[in-house]
Amino acid sequence: MKRISIILIFIIGFSLSAAVTPAIIQSPLYSDTDTASVDFSFDRSIENQLGLHEQETLSLADELEGREELAMSHPDYPVTPGDILKIEYVEASKATTVLTQVNSAYRIMLNTFGEVDAKDKSYEEVKDAVVSAIENYLPFSNPAVSLVKAGSFFVTVTGEVDSTVHVSSWGLSRLSSTIPYASDYASTRRVSITSLDGSVAHCDLYLALREGVLDQDPLLKRGDVVRYNRSEDVVMITGEVARPGVYQINEGTSIDQAIREYAHGSLPTSRSNGYSLRRYQDGVVSVNHVDPEAAGSFILRDYDTVYVPPVAPSSKAVTIEGAVRVGDAAPDTGSIQSSGRLYYQFYPGETVSQMVRNLSDRFSAVSDLENMYVKRDGKILPVNVRSILMGEQSSNDTLALKQGDLFVVPFSQLFVHVAGGVLSPGTYPYIPDKNAMYYINIAGGFDPANNRNGKFSILNKYGEREENDVIISPESVITAKLNTWQAVNGANLATTVTITSLVATILTIIVTATNLVN
């Protein structure tokens, strides 16, 4: 029995100590799951996936001007049907100039010098072949070849596009030049090119443009059909990583792998205690914390966002006490029964207004929101919580929190005192927009024996005198004056009679005692 009593005393004592323990609240700005402080906008366009910008030229080779100079200086320029070549040579001491065009069969007709097959040959290779053909017939003719007009052709772009289009291209147009025609849901990883001969090449534009695997961005040819497939797992990696962005990952890629292979790893400024993952599933968006140990096996899905948080600075705290709720659960009455105390760990640079908004659920109907104040360095600074919560402009919007600040939230008791010459003096519930006569009537009206002329006075909660026709505020004291003879003098007369009776009684006792002695 004694043991049970000791246990009960311990439990009760622990409960009481827990009840008075002040709450420690950390600013939500520290939380890496606070979506309000992180840019989670998800642009899954193919340009964004590949790190391109709208005004950025995909390829200088697609410029209309200067194509010929670029083609002649480019070692890989393939001679294309429609190219016009200028051939100059000397015959019988006479300079001769001839213009010839590459036909649809990639043949270059040189008249008396024969023809040259230009299929699958670069400009340099074709130029050497033409010069060789002429010199075979005319030694020492000093032949020279130049490109005076670059040919063009059409390729078809289809698949995950707004509509199938035929795109004008030329010899140095690459697969990446068709990106503007792809939709936001086109795959950057699975693009196919079907040539005129029926062969199919599969290309990965992500590897080409973001990892530098250039053979994944081949030159286009006449008659090619480019097909964009639909994208599958597109995720965003943001925060403290070397290369934040939107990426189309391979199936089965984990968080750890995605950060390492796509975002090129975390920065030294990243926090080491895990990542935040935003996920859409079954019509619900959730933000969850993923521990570093689980990141290696946590498989990403389409539309996931991985946030690598920065190292949190050391926290400092301010104190809030008075009419604030300390416990996690709001009381059933919606009021605060006793003073509470909170310690608020604020984020560097956080303002008073931000803290008030973050603690809005800690106030109640008895919190005097208009008269909160902060004690700082021996000074008292007013804080109008009501104006902050109403979104009004306030000097507290720029007033930063400071270590050691003490915020006091006064109680606003919703009652009015009625005293003096009324029938039922006492404390009554506060009703908005009522004057003094309302409360005097609630108290039974003026007492005719104590107040005959209806005079009264009003003191507000600060002890200041108010006009009689003012709207009563909470905690005011209404006093009906004692202005009848009975009220003013009756108490003195009763006191005098009582004292006289007491003196007479004492004298009677003395006289009686004297007689008994004699």
In a domain, 20, yes or no: no
Q: Encode pLDDT of 414-452 as tens digits.
A: 889 999 989 999 999 888 899 999 999 999 999 988 888
Structural domain boundaries, residue 285: 35-44+233-308
User: Which residues, 6+ apart, have CB-to-CB distance to 128 below 8 Å?
Assistant: none
Query: How far is the CA of 41 from the CAs of 44, 267, 299, 336, 410, in angstroms?
Result: 10, 22, 21, 40, 42
Q: Are residues 56 and 205 in the same domain?
A: yes
Q: Are residues 194 and 261 in the same domain?
A: no
Give the C-alpha separation, 428 to 147, whole Å. 102
Q: List, in sequence order, every residue forming a beta bridge with 241; answer none if it has no partner.
A: 266
Number of domains in the chain: 5
CATH number of the domain residue 394 falls in: 3.10.560
421: which 2 tokens? Answer: 């010459």
Q: Are residues 52 and 173 in the same domain?
A: yes
Q: Are residues 320 and 383 in the same domain?
A: yes
User: Which residues, 6+ apart, have CB-to-CB distance to 98 below 8 Å?
Assistant: 86, 87, 88, 110, 111
Phi then psi for residue 195, to 5 deg, are -85, 175
Query: According to the model, what pLDDT value does residue 38 have?
Result: 55
Query: According to the model, what pLDDT value does residue 28 have?
Result: 77
Q: How far is CA 62 from the centre of its chain?
A: 39
Q: Are residues 278 and 202 in the same domain?
A: no
In a domain, 18, yes or no: no
Query: According to the model, what pLDDT value does residue 44 have?
Result: 79
Residue where a domain terminates, one of 360, 382, 409:
409
In a domain, 511, yes or no: no
Q: Are residues 140 and 159 in the same domain?
A: no
Query: According to the model, what pLDDT value does residue 347 have?
Result: 82
Residue 175 and residue 218 in contact, taking contact as beta carbons nearer than 8 Å: yes
Residue where a domain terminates, one of 149, 174, 193:
149
Query: According to the model, what pLDDT value does residue 368 have?
Result: 87
Give the C-alpha separation, 389 to 362, whole Å. 13
Query: According to the model, what pLDDT value does residue 462 have?
Result: 81
Q: 204: how many CB neighbours lie within 10 A of its CB?
A: 19
In a domain, 502, yes or no: no
Which pLDDT tens digits describe the chain residue by residue (518 residues)?
A: 444 443 333 333 433 333 445 678 888 776 544 444 555 567 777 888 887 754 444 444 455 678 888 889 888 899 999 999 999 999 888 999 999 999 988 999 988 888 999 998 999 999 999 999 999 989 989 999 999 999 999 999 999 999 999 999 999 999 999 999 999 899 989 999 999 999 999 999 999 998 889 999 999 999 999 999 999 899 999 989 999 989 999 999 999 999 999 999 999 888 888 898 888 888 888 888 899 899 999 999 999 999 998 876 667 899 999 989 887 655 444 455 678 899 998 888 889 998 999 998 899 888 888 889 999 999 999 999 988 988 887 777 788 999 999 999 998 878 899 999 899 999 998 888 999 999 999 999 999 888 888 899 999 888 899 999 999 988 899 999 987 655 555 555 555 556 666 666 777 777 676 777 66
Burial 279-301, CB ≥16 within 10 A → b, else e: beeeeeeebeeeeeeebeebebb
In a domain, 17, yes or no: no
Query: According to the model, what pLDDT value does residue 163 have?
Result: 93
In a domain, 12, yes or no: no
pTM over 0.85: no
29 HSE (CA, 13 A, CB side): 18
CATH number of the domain residue 132 falls in: 3.30.1950.10
Q: Are residues 353 and 419 in the same domain?
A: no
If you ran DSSP here, which 8-state letter would residue 18 be given?
H
155: which 2 tokens? Answer: 């390729």
> What one-character-per-residue DSSP string does 236-276 give?
EEEESBSS-EEEEPPTT-BHHHHHHHTS--B-TTB-SS-EE
CATH number of the domain residue 477 falls in: 3.10.560.10
The torsion region of residue 377 among left (phi > 0), alpha (psi -120 to 50) and beta comes to: left
Q: Are residues 185 and 56 in the same domain?
A: yes
Give the C-alpha separation, 385 to 357, whole Å. 9
In a domain, 73, yes or no: no
Query: According to the model, what pLDDT value does residue 22 have?
Result: 60
Query: According to the model, what pLDDT value does residue 14 have?
Result: 36
Q: Are residues 157 and 225 in the same domain?
A: yes
Give the C-alpha separation, 87 to 99, whole Å. 6
Residue 222 and residue 194 in contact, taking contact as beta carbons nearer than 8 Å: no
In a domain, 496, yes or no: no
Q: Are residues 444 and 394 in the same domain?
A: no
The closest of 142, 37, 12, 169 to 88, measured between CA atoms, is 142
Q: Are residues 139 and 249 in the same domain?
A: no
Q: Are residues 324 and 382 in the same domain?
A: yes
Mapping DSSP to helix (H, G, I), strand (E, B) and coil, where does residue 413 land?
coil
Residue where a domain terminates, one of 286, 308, 330:
308
Q: How far is CA 283 from the centre of its chain?
A: 20
If you ran DSSP here, which 8-state letter would residue 367 be given?
B
Query: According to the model, what pLDDT value does residue 446 have?
Result: 92
